[in-house]
Structure 1
Amino acid sequence: MPEVGSEREVGAGSKVRATAPWVRTRLRAAPGAAVALLLLALVSSFLAASFPRAVEAYEGSGLRQALRAAPADQNGLQVSDVLVQPFDPEDPAVQSRLGPKEMAERQRKILSALPQPLRVDRGQSSYGVFTSRPVDGSAPGLTRLDGGAPVFTLSAGAGVAEHSTVRSGRLPKAAVATPGSTAVEAVVTAATAKELNIAVGTVIRVPRGDLDPLAVTVTGVIDPLRPDQPYWSVRPLLRTPATLFTPGPPPEPYWHGALLLAPEAAPALLSVSPDVESYWRFALDPGGLRVTDLAALKAAVSTVESGPVLSELREAISPEVEADTEVDALLARYEELRSAVAPVVAVAAFGVGGVVGVVLLMAGGLAAARRHAELALVRSRGGSVPGMAGRLLAEVAVPVVPAAAAGCALAVLLVPEGRLVPAVVGAAVVTLVTCAALPLRAALVHRRPGSRGGRDDLVGARPSRRRTVAELTLLALTVAAVVALRRRGTDDGAAQGVDYLVSAAPLLLGAVAALLLVRLQPLPLRIAARPLARRRGAVGFLAMARAGRAPATSALPLVALLLALTTTAFGGSVLAGVDGARERAAVRSVGADARVEAATALPAGLADSVRKVPGVRGVVAVYRELDLDLGYAEGSSEAGAAGGVTLLAVDPDAYARLARSTGVGAFDAGALRAKGGEDAQDSADAAPLPAIVSPGVAERLGDDPVVVGPPSAPLQIAVASVRDETPALPLGDFVVVDAAGVPVAKQPTTLLVTGGSVAGDALRATVRAAGTDARVALRSEEYAAYADSPLQTGAERVYAVAAAAAAGYAVLALLLSLLRAAPERTALLARLRTMGLTRGQSRRLLVLESLPGTLLAGVGGVLVGWAVVLVLSPGIDLTRLAHASGEVLSTGIRVELAADPASLLLPGLGVVLVAAGVAAAQAWAVTRRTTTTELRVGDTR
């Protein structure tokens, strides 16, 4: 391939060729194109490298949160050693097993045997000896409940001093005790001392069969430090006494407290109870865990529970050692949620990845089209295809490779968690596609040298057979993906991982629709050009003619635009569907914007006080009675059974307005209003109260009036309407009646508060000031609770970024296609200006010329996005993504994908507006320049 250069004389008549390097020459000739390609590679490689790291980051955060937020008795490891009966309390070997030095040494052995990645929080771990069954204890003044005197658990645990502060008295002395000791010292927590009436100096005598009672002297009262931490929370009895009940009818309560002895007093427990157990409780430290550690963590837990590690502990400590943990159950629940969310996120990955890939290919294709004449000249002068492709590859690689490396490094810097290899692979794929697009396109077009052929217009072009075969293959693949998605859904492949064919279904649908639209694109251009040809003005006809004369390669920007708009619409619909599902579930849970509920009647005047809280618009009072007796419905085998039915007495008008505003069980207030007022039920011939009931109650009551309720205040009701749900009761069967016809409904038990900005703190303060412990629930808090997992919030962020990236690449594809034709448009306007075209007509020409393609892309994007959502919604389950627990309040409700008008319309409208704005700006810039300057530049076509 000939070099770019010139000749100069050297010495006496000799000549030496001065060669100018191809890459440097090209980069200097078109620095703007090089910088644009650099920025494109930088952003694309950053997205490709940051996506897998972002997914691993939020999955790792979800794993750590799942372990950290679990109850203390579930997210730790408990190792126990039970003394096997019979044993001799006086045996020195038995006593030494309970000594503090031996217990500490065993703890070190257990810690050294735990496999990675099990990490232990040593500060919150504990060990000691306790009586596994409560023992009797007596002392003057101890609180006795109806079930009798309190019982106690004696615990000799290490670390009490480090995890508590002494409120009064002192800690027990570290005096060595034996089974024959008659006295030991202990401390109790402030809660135990308060409930059981224990003070410093109290002596609790614990019977020991034939031996004298063991005197346990309480030397101090302590306050636990961080009582919600695992040291105190694994066995809450150590900090807070519990209530037990006697076995025989009726069950009666009695107290169960804990006496905390010094570790050196553990041998004294051998004479108190035959059920003595040594324990080592290890709080797991989830810090540093990553999602890639999940498999190793599950294997480590399994080996400790019932594998080689347990066998090792039994050999090193005792044959009776047992290990127990709920961590494996926590990991199973986490993995289930992760497996349900991952396929939905994979859809976003395929969508934005496809858009990025098409835009990168489009950039290379447009560059090859722009340099068609130059490359044809190189081939006609003897340049080889490999040589030309190699020069182009080197030219592109100079800005792309450093930019891609910088994008990957930036992704690693901004998303510190995650593996490096997937990020590098993603950036490498972007680099390969960006570098290969221009050389491969040029090699394909110029594989045979020749002069410029005939017209390659968009209207006149005919697809080749190979293109038809490729499109039919893509269509078959898309049909298979859609069928698989609708039949199996995203959840089916979750157990074995992400099903790539199913996850690629939206992208494939968008690609097929885009190719179909490309084939149909000439038809509207022909139809629009006919009436414009008969008009007197030339601007409209020229615009349509120019749009039809666009090269066939302009179909690729249309594909990129449609894919981007489809991905944006799909991602926006996912986010809107998740938000709408959470909103509906929160409304069903609370019944209004806020809810004040008590087990008994609320104080008089509380409703008026709540109405004065900032942000409150209205208050609906509800009287609630649980376990309603349904009476004897004729023909019902379940007559008289309560069956969990709840009676709700309401004001019909206010409650009907609330039901309509929330969309939960709307009804007509007139159908519920009682006939005859408050005293109507007292008369013998009173009309039955109209009632709105749930389907289960309607089936049991039938169509005839029925007397329900307790004998002291019976109600005669008749079913007026059946509703699946009602605001005052999130779940369960219900009977809603007019409060005017219920004599006992004087004071409400529930207040349903409306107001979009109810102040939660002020509402709770008002309720407390009224002297009631009623529960206050806010819709906004319930809404936030449905997304309490980083898995969900992280997946939502990924979807938001994917939708934004797709929208950005849509605009980029549009700009690339417009800039590709900018020089030709400039020269065209210059010629037309010399023939009398005004500035205004020039601007309208450019705007109208750009509109057909972008308008078609915008409308097509809206239609394709709507069709994709409609076709795929039965197979996309968003329940786990919408709700933290993976369940909705109402049984059987499934959160499915639904079209979001804003996500469908706004991106398409934005594309049209951007195209019109760029064309107008280009026309303004061109008309400001002189015509002679533009014509002097010349035209290569």
Structure 2
Amino acid sequence: MSSAPTPRPSAPRAPRTPPVPAPWTRTRLRTAPGAAAALALLVAVTVCLAAAFPLALDRYADAGLRRAVAQAGPDRTGVMVIAPQPDLALPPGKRAAALRPAALAERYRGTLAAVTPPLAVDRARSTYGVRTTRSVVAPDPWLPRPSGLPAQVVLATPYGLGDHARPRAGRLPRATGPVTAATARVEAAVTEETARALRIGVGAEIHVPGVERPPVTVRVTGILAPREPDGPYWGSQPLLRTPALTPTPGSQGPDDDRYWVGALLLAPEAAPVLLGTAGNPVRYWQLAPADRVLRARALDGLTSAVASLESGPGLRAVRSATDPAADVSTDLDEVFAAYAELRDGIGPLVAVAAAGTGTVAGVVLLMTGGLAADRRRAELALLRARGASLRGLARRLAAETAVVALPAAALGLAGALLALPGGRPGPALAAAAAVTAAACAALPLRAAAAHRTVRAHDPRRDTVAVRPSRRRTVAELALVVLALGAVEGLRRRGAAEGAGDLVSAAPVLVGLVAALVLVRLYPLPLRALARPAGRLRGAVAHLSLARAGRTSASAVLPLLALVTAFTTAAFGGSVLAGVEGTRDRAALLTVGADARVEATGALPSGLPDRMRRAPGVRDLTAVSLAYQSVPQDGAGTLPVAGVDPAAYAALAARTGLGGFPPDDLARDRADGAVLPALASPAVAERFGTARPFALRLEDGSSVTVRVVLVRDRTPAVTGADFLVVDRSALSAEAARPTALLLTGAGIDADALRRAAGGSGAGSRTLSVLLRSQERARYVESPLQTGAERLYAAAVAAGAGYAVVALLLSLLRAAPERAALLARLRTMGLTRAQGRRLLVLESLPPALLAAAGGVLTGWATVRLLAPGIDLTTIALASAASPVGEAELRTDPWSLAVPTAAVLAVAVGAAAVQAWWSGRRGSVRELRAGDAR
């Protein structure tokens, strides 16, 4: 019997292995490490610059606010709370208790609680106490009496005196036992300045008259040296530190009508004794703002906090904590308002620079993505032909770029935060994120746009043959409308009033419109030159023009970057040059020359010779000034300058301040006793030019003058009213020089002061003023210097990105040019002809960018000049003797970028031709075939 066949066991099925994903990103980075490193460097630098801009702006703004508060002085920035003395109807014990340190300290804590953030109080430099508001006569005969009038004193009991002053002699005052309004003797201290001026020593006794009681004897126990004389503790009430020589009411200011007023500093426990004097004592709480925590970004909150203290909820809280009749006074709100005006005037100009540089940097990032997409066009087209989806391809390219860009961006952001600590990290992070997003999206978007349709080959793209689409035309027209609106808004309202994003981007929009117009006009000269070049004997010129008209897709972004950089450089250079010129002009108008030495009376006879020998002095002009000359109509006074016509005319011509022919002012041209005079327009309009009029000079002599010359400015006198006459026609007393106007390079201020001090001036008051020092006085805020540095950095960064854009455009065509040269050399093209071919091919776009950039920059400055006032950034809060500082074209800002672009374009083409010649034709042809 046969058995059933045993079934054969089936072979085990092999497990399915999951598909291994292709290491796309790693492969691409290994294939092109140079491109990845270049992208990382570009992203890191761009992120660092973008993040550093808001950080630096915050630092400069905060430093400017602190400088503004410091320059205003503690007497203006301190918050002073004043409460009257306790009600007279209260019992004497309660009145005295209200002035004791414990009661004042309790109210001090309530006053601090009324101050709301962001305003903060520096408690270490704040104080409180009691002081008399009226000075009382000290009848002691040993006190100095400059005009026979007795000295007067104020009494004060500032808290914390020992923490803010150290005894130079003696000790701090103390209160022995409970002090009341009837106490007969108290102790006090005085500062060194008070002791020196009033001749007070340790142990001196000053008798202060009382009200319905005998005089209070104040014994001086110590002479104090303030630890921080200009700080808030002493500076808020300067009289407590420095005595004042006060004129009597109704006096005209001579020294014989003045008397001394000094302060006696009592112990805080002795405050009740002030109730027994006629000084009308008040309680005060002196709050010093904490300037180290001031932030410009919180300026609105700071202004609101001060307004609340002066007349709002803060004032109610202060009165609730101190006294219903308490009052708060400070000028801190005015300081904040002045700073806000300065910031609002400078901010729009900085925004223009940021917009221009940001646009150029963005274009360079887009060009980087476009260059990578063009370099890999064949690879991406093959992937699309094999079925790769557009979305999947974009995701892979985005991941590949992000692997390089994100670490580089983090490195750039960290560098900016470490280099500029203290600023707000939020805007820096936003700027870094925007740059990183643009860098990561440039390649995927460009590749998706180029490979949206699967093609077997790319069509030929010629600038001279391709016509713009309707969509592009509509977009360009919309951009033109935006640019016109921005320019018109800036011209009508000005940069400070119309500081919106559109107005700040006006130069960028003008440059963008100019670039688009240039791209449309670019084929016209190429077509015009191609025909005559084709009839030439050689083929280099014709071939270079034909090559220059290729690849329209790559022409817009490089041209946009270059023209925008030109516009930003022209505008920024004009702003910086205008600021420098405004300061120089203002200093020159104030001084009248490179240096000025002036006296209250006649100068010593040997002073001019000593000044001529001073280092740096090239020429010297003596002037006799009579500021209080009275014209015949007796209406006010008129400054008159007596000069030597020849020397003064040379000075006026050299300085550009109202030059004139010297013979027109010479005395021998006068008719009889009538002197010819140079006058300001206001004086000429007042007295006319047809009839002479009489003048009585300061020495009592009289002259008759007639206006023959009218000038807006003159070196000797500033202001709208002046007369200049021949000095030889004046009396001997009136003709004596009172001022010297010096010109020269590198004048030494110390040498001038030594010469003036050693000239035997005696009692005369000599002032030495240098043009360079006067110019430095106009730069008083870190916000000014910060804005200038940011502007210079923005212009430099824009120029650097423009060069990168130009190199990228040349790099994009480099492989094709190298292969072309190799093919042409096999046909007999020499190296010199190849070099000329590449140079001539690169010249048309470079010339287009240079010429278009120069015209655009010049036009932008001319268009926007009516809306730009440089007075704020140039002179800050100083009075402007030049009026409104207008924006003018700076030739160097146009010439230097033009030369740089042409040099880079020609140099890069020459270097490529030389390098291609060294590599050999066979290698280049193989490289070209591989591509």
- Which category describes the TM-score, using the shorter chain as reference length? over 0.9
| Paired residues for 1:530-569 under 5 Å | 530-569=531-570
Q: Helix, strand or coil: the match of 2:508?
A: helix
Amino acid aligned to 1:735: L
The equivalent residue for 2:117 is 116
User: Against the structure 1 CA distance between its residues 274 and 929, is the aligned structure 2 distance closer, same or farther, given a 3 Å change threshold?
Assistant: closer
Amino acid aligned to 2:705: I
Asked whether the equivalents of residues 529 and 544 of structure 1 are also in contact (C-alpha less than 8 Å), the reply is: yes
1:839 pairs with 2:808: no
The equivalent residue for 1:419 is 424
Question: Aligned partners of 2:650 and 2:491: how far apart in 1?
Answer: 39
The equivalent residue for 2:684 is 698
User: Against the structure 1 CA distance between its residues 535 and 202, is the aligned structure 2 distance closer, same or farther, given a 3 Å change threshold?
Assistant: same
Question: Aligned partners of 1:167 and 1:391: how far apart in 2?
Answer: 79
1:658 pairs with 2:651: yes
Match of residue 62, structure 2, among 37, 60, 63: 60
User: Against the structure 1 CA distance between its residues 552 and 311, is the aligned structure 2 distance closer, same or farther, given a 3 Å change threshold?
Assistant: closer
Match of residue 483, structure 1, among 473, 488, 491: 488
Question: Aligned partners of 1:250 and 1:62: how far apart in 2?
Answer: 40
Task: Point out the more displaced range, 810-819 or 417-426.
Answer: 417-426
Question: Aligned partners of 1:721 and 1:504: how far apart in 2?
Answer: 47
Cα RMSD after superposing both structures: 2.2
The equivalent residue for 2:673 is 687
Question: Aligned partners of 1:56 and 1:712: how far apart in 2?
Answer: 60
Structure 2 unaligned segments of length 5 or more: list them: 1-12
Asked whether the equivalents of residues 47 and 432 of structure 2 are also in contact (C-alpha less than 8 Å), the reply is: yes
Question: Aligned partners of 2:743 and 2:785: how far apart in 1?
Answer: 28
Match of residue 190, structure 1, among 184, 189, 192: 192
Task: Point out the more displaced range, 308-317 or 867-876.
Answer: 308-317
Amino acid aligned to 1:257: G
Give the Å deviation of 1:70.
1.2
User: Against the structure 1 CA distance between its residues 642 and 147, is the aligned structure 2 distance closer, same or farther, given a 3 Å change threshold?
Assistant: farther
Structure 1 residues 316-352: Cα deviation after superposition (integer angstroms, max 9, x where no partner): 3322322221111111111111111111111111111
Match of residue 661, structure 2, among 661, 668, 672: 668
Asked whether the equivalents of residues 147 and 246 of structure 1 are also in contact (C-alpha less than 8 Å), the reply is: no
User: Against the structure 1 CA distance between its residues 26 and 254, is the aligned structure 2 distance closer, same or farther, given a 3 Å change threshold?
Assistant: same
Query: What TM-score, normalized by structure 2, do the two folds share?
Result: 0.94
Asked whether the equivalents of residues 519 and 555 of structure 2 are also in contact (C-alpha less than 8 Å), the reply is: no
Question: Aligned partners of 2:224 and 2:652: how far apart in 1?
Answer: 52
The equivalent residue for 2:778 is 786
Structure 1 residues 540-591: Cα deviation after superposition (integer angstroms, max 9, x where no partner): 2221121123443233211211111111111111111111111111111111
1:800 pairs with 2:792: yes
Query: What TM-score, normalized by structure 1, do the two folds share?
Result: 0.93
Question: Aligned partners of 2:111 and 2:616: how far apart in 1?
Answer: 57
Q: Helix, strand or coil: the match of 1:157?
A: coil
Query: Aligned residues, how many?
Result: 909
Amino acid aligned to 1:707: A
| Paired residues for 1:362-441 under 5 Å | 362-441=367-446
Question: Aligned partners of 1:265 and 1:926: how far apart in 2?
Answer: 95
Match of residue 744, structure 2, among 715, 735, 755: 755
Structure 1 residues 239-267: Cα deviation after superposition (integer angstroms, max 9, x where no partner): 22223333357773222222222222211
Q: Helix, strand or coil: the match of 1:660?
A: helix
Q: Helix, strand or coil: the match of 2:291?
A: coil
Question: Aligned partners of 1:229 and 1:765: how far apart in 2?
Answer: 33
Question: Aligned partners of 1:425 and 1:228: how far apart in 2?
Answer: 42
Give the Å deviation of 1:390.
1.3
Amino acid aligned to 1:640: G
| Paired residues for 1:162-181 under 5 Å | 162-176=163-177, 177-181=179-183
Match of residue 220, structure 2, among 218, 230, 235: 218
Give the Å deviation of 1:481.
1.1
The equivalent residue for 1:927 is 917
Asked whether the equivalents of residues 816 and 928 of structure 2 are also in contact (C-alpha less than 8 Å), the reply is: no
Question: Aligned partners of 1:73 and 1:846: how far apart in 2?
Answer: 71
Give the Å deviation of 1:85.
5.1
The equivalent residue for 1:917 is 907
Structure 1 residues 679-713: Cα deviation after superposition (integer angstroms, max 9, x where no partner): x9xxxx84311111111211222221111014831
Question: Aligned partners of 1:109 and 1:448: how far apart in 2?
Answer: 75
1:828 pairs with 2:820: yes
Q: Helix, strand or coil: the match of 2:791?
A: helix
Asked whether the equivalents of residues 603 and 747 of structure 1 are also in contact (C-alpha less than 8 Å), the reply is: no
Q: Helix, strand or coil: the match of 1:208?
A: coil
User: Against the structure 1 CA distance between its residues 87 and 675, is the aligned structure 2 distance closer, same or farther, given a 3 Å change threshold?
Assistant: farther
Amino acid aligned to 2:666: R
Match of residue 727, structure 1, among 715, 718, 738: 715
Q: Helix, strand or coil: the match of 1:142?
A: coil
Give the Å deviation of 1:221.
3.4
1:74 pairs with 2:79: no
Structure 1 residues 623-656: Cα deviation after superposition (integer angstroms, max 9, x where no partner): 111121111xxxxxxx12224x211111222221
Give the Å deviation of 1:871.
1.0
Task: Point out the more displaced range, 516-525 or 541-550.
Answer: 541-550
Question: Aligned partners of 2:76 and 2:466: how far apart in 1?
Answer: 68
The equivalent residue for 1:870 is 862
1:641 pairs with 2:632: no
Asked whether the equivalents of residues 675 and 687 of structure 1 are also in contact (C-alpha less than 8 Å), the reply is: no
Structure 1 residues 896-933: Cα deviation after superposition (integer angstroms, max 9, x where no partner): 21110000111111011011111111111110112112
The equivalent residue for 1:242 is 244
The equivalent residue for 1:636 is none
Question: Aligned partners of 2:436 and 2:458: how far apart in 1?
Answer: 33
| Paired residues for 1:804-815 under 5 Å | 804-815=796-807
> Identical aligned pairs, as a percentage?
52
| Paired residues for 1:583-598 under 5 Å | 583-598=584-599
The equivalent residue for 2:5 is none
Amino acid aligned to 2:433: A
The equivalent residue for 1:158 is 159
The equivalent residue for 1:740 is 728
Match of residue 846, structure 2, among 843, 854, 861: 854
1:207 pairs with 2:194: no
Structure 1 unaligned segments of length 5 or more: list them: 1-10, 632-638
Task: Point out the more displaced range, 356-365 or 445-454.
Answer: 445-454
Q: Helix, strand or coil: the match of 2:630?
A: coil
Match of residue 231, structure 1, among 230, 233, 237: 233
Question: Aligned partners of 1:75 and 1:831: how far apart in 2?
Answer: 79
Amino acid aligned to 1:216: V
Give the Å deviation of 1:13.
15
Asked whether the equivalents of residues 534 and 542 of structure 2 are also in contact (C-alpha less than 8 Å), the reply is: yes
Asked whether the equivalents of residues 879 and 886 of structure 1 are also in contact (C-alpha less than 8 Å), the reply is: no
The equivalent residue for 2:9 is none
Match of residue 758, structure 2, among 766, 769, 773: 769
The equivalent residue for 2:278 is 273
Match of residue 287, structure 2, among 273, 282, 307: 282
Asked whether the equivalents of residues 461 and 552 of structure 1 are also in contact (C-alpha less than 8 Å), the reply is: no
Question: Aligned partners of 1:734 and 1:85: how far apart in 2?
Answer: 59
Give the Å deviation of 1:940.
6.2
The equivalent residue for 2:469 is 464
Asked whether the equivalents of residues 879 and 887 of structure 1 are also in contact (C-alpha less than 8 Å), the reply is: no
Amino acid aligned to 2:556: A
Question: Aligned partners of 1:393 and 1:225: how far apart in 2?
Answer: 63
Match of residue 937, structure 1, among 907, 910, 927: 927
Q: Helix, strand or coil: the match of 2:467?
A: coil
Q: Helix, strand or coil: the match of 2:76?
A: coil
Asked whether the equivalents of residues 47 and 413 of structure 2 are also in contact (C-alpha less than 8 Å), the reply is: yes
Amino acid aligned to 1:716: T
The equivalent residue for 2:127 is 126
The equivalent residue for 1:3 is none
Asked whether the equivalents of residues 209 and 278 of structure 2 are also in contact (C-alpha less than 8 Å), the reply is: no
Question: Aligned partners of 2:160 and 2:672: how far apart in 1?
Answer: 71
Asked whether the equivalents of residues 630 and 701 of structure 1 are also in contact (C-alpha less than 8 Å), the reply is: no
Question: Aligned partners of 1:730 and 1:460: how far apart in 2?
Answer: 65
